[in-house]
Structure 1
Amino acid sequence: MDPSPYGDDLRLAHVLADQVEPITMGRFRASDLVVESKPDLTPVTQADRDCEATIRSQLSRYRNRDAVIGEEFEPTGHSKRQWVIDPIDGTKNYVRGVPVWATLIGLVEDGECVMGLVSAPALGRRWWAAKGAGAWSGRSLAKAEQIHVSKVGEVSDSSFSYSSIDGWREAGRGMSFLRLTSEVWRTRAYGDFWSYMLLAEGAVDAAAEPELELYDMGALVAIVTEAGGRFTSLEGEDGPWGGNALATNGLLHDAYLDRLAPDES
């Protein structure tokens, strides 16, 4: 991999993923796994909390000047450098024994997503990127291949991955979404981090979700963009700041933005 000013941060992210993998895998498909509902009615397990607590503890040791934003605990610190953590992205899959879930570790500096790592131990895969060093996938830094987005340039030839249909209706884009799904070559609801990693690998050409939090996206942006893609909100704002996401191979981005515009009233 090419050198990057964020190489040390990326290596630390791999160490953090190594440390929390026994926590998440140790409780995955456990018969006594306790699942609770948060105030927003989304599920959470002790594995989520233990994973994030471990990452925060290590960051306080090795990056004590940096801020931390995570899903399960209040933000800590004030810094231009912010670590963005989702301990288990895909908790609903996790609690049902579906292996498509991951720990997301991202770094934002001065409002730019400069590093991201996605660790999916039940799939035996990781994806990562640091600004200026490309996007990679494999089991470790030593066993990796560089990844790139596809070169599909027509919506009618594109493969589109999304999450739930209901979310698009609730976001006032249900009709736009349905029209788009009838226009593309193929649709699949891979969902969560998986859609965006398949995009970065060139296996799908566009991925979108109508409602997301910063911790859902913080680790994904650098991987998509370093793979040659584009990541914005549904309004076209670059980065993970708009509360939703559209990621494409870049060639399709403007066309997808047009087609996923809010429904006419």
Structure 2
Amino acid sequence: MTDDDLLLAQRLADAAGAAIRPLFRKPFSMETKADQSPVTEADRAAEGAMRAILGAERPDDGIIGEEYGEERAQAARQWVLDPIDGTRSFVAGRPIFGTLIALLEDGRPVLGVIDQPIAGERWIGAKGRPTLLNGAAIRTRACSAIARAHLATTGPAYFTTDSYLAFDRVRAAARDTLWGGDCYNYGLLAAGHLDLVIEDGLKLYDFAALVPIVEGAGGRMTDWQGRALDRDSIGQVIAAGDPALIDPAVELLQAA
């Protein structure tokens, strides 16, 4: 990962935002995918704009995108794109969705961007560097006990029956729980406004960009067994602003 990669990731975010903003709270076409999730012309236009840049400037790198699939699957470097994480929020006119851009090297996330193109908020994380929000370094906050933690998750429908029971043990132990938010929750956690995010059912394009952002701000992200996240992770995710929260969260999630 180089400085040129960081600059490129920001230009990808600029291109996605330029495709999204004209359609926000305006008429747009929409379909329902096989998994019953919505996809809009803004999703497709934003991913298409990013892929065009990558095809011209990084022709040897792989691409994994939510809307248009995978290219060059065996490449050591892969760009992971979610043009609108939180499409339901976009459809409803709620500016808490985000464009997610990640770079994987040998399967591990080394660069991540969350871009909220309506509010003009951009988080940038890169391995070995501090996370930036609109150019200023940010930090997570200290919170070592789940009983004091502000917990967030996108919604109960994303869990299986068993995984929701596991999540509910953490929810019952936490100070309070915020529902909804998709990727925006992880940006809030990195900036010190939330303590814990726990989710199930995520795809690689839902979480890859979040790892460098959370960890560059002093937090930690793992799966539900406490293992580092990579290309092969199954999508059960814990993000903790204070790394001390990971072990008690794992213990509650794995309790018989």
Aligned length: 252
The code of the aligned residue for 2:239 comes to: A
One-letter identity of the residue aligned with 1:245: V
Query: Deviation of residue 191 (structure 1)?
Result: 2.7
Structure 2 residue 177 is matched with structure 1 residue 184 = no
Deviation at 1:242, TM superposition (A): 2.4
- State how far apart, in whole Å, the 2-side matches of 1:7 and 1:44 are: 33
Alignment of 1:1-265 (within 5 A): 5-30=1-26, 32-77=27-72, 78-138=74-134, 144-168=135-159, 170-240=160-230, 241-248=233-240, 249-261=242-254, 264=256
**Partner amino acid for 1:51?**
A
Q: CA deviation at 1:116?
A: 0.5
Q: Quote the Cα distance in structure 2 between the aligned partners of 1:171 and 1:258.
A: 19
* Superposed CA RMSD: 1.4
Residues 27-71 of structure 1: CA deviation (Å, up to 9, x unaligned): 1111x2111001111100111111111111100111111000000
TM-score by length of structure 2 reads 0.94
User: Does the aligned pair in 1 maintain the 2:97–2:181 contact within 8 Å?
Assistant: no
**Structure 2 residue runs without a partner (length 5+):** none
Structure 1 residue 239 displacement after superposition = 1.2
Structure 1 contact 210–234 (Cα < 8 Å) conserved: no
Residue deviations 1:133-158, cap 9 Å, x none?
Answer: 111101xxxxx211111111111111
TM-score normalised per structure 1? 0.91
Does the Cα contact within 8 Å between 2:113 and 2:210 map onto a contact in 1? yes
What residue identity is the alignment partner of 1:149? T
Q: Percent same amino acid among aligned pairs?
A: 36
Indicate the residue corresponding to 1:141 in structure 2.
none
SS in 1 for 2:70: coil
Shift of 1:179: 2.9
User: Structure 1: which 5+ runs fail to align?
Assistant: 139-143
Residue by residue over 1:75-101, the C-alpha shift from the partner in whole angstroms, topping out at 9 and shown as x without a partner, is 011310000000000000001111111
Distance 1:235 1:171, change over 3 A: farther
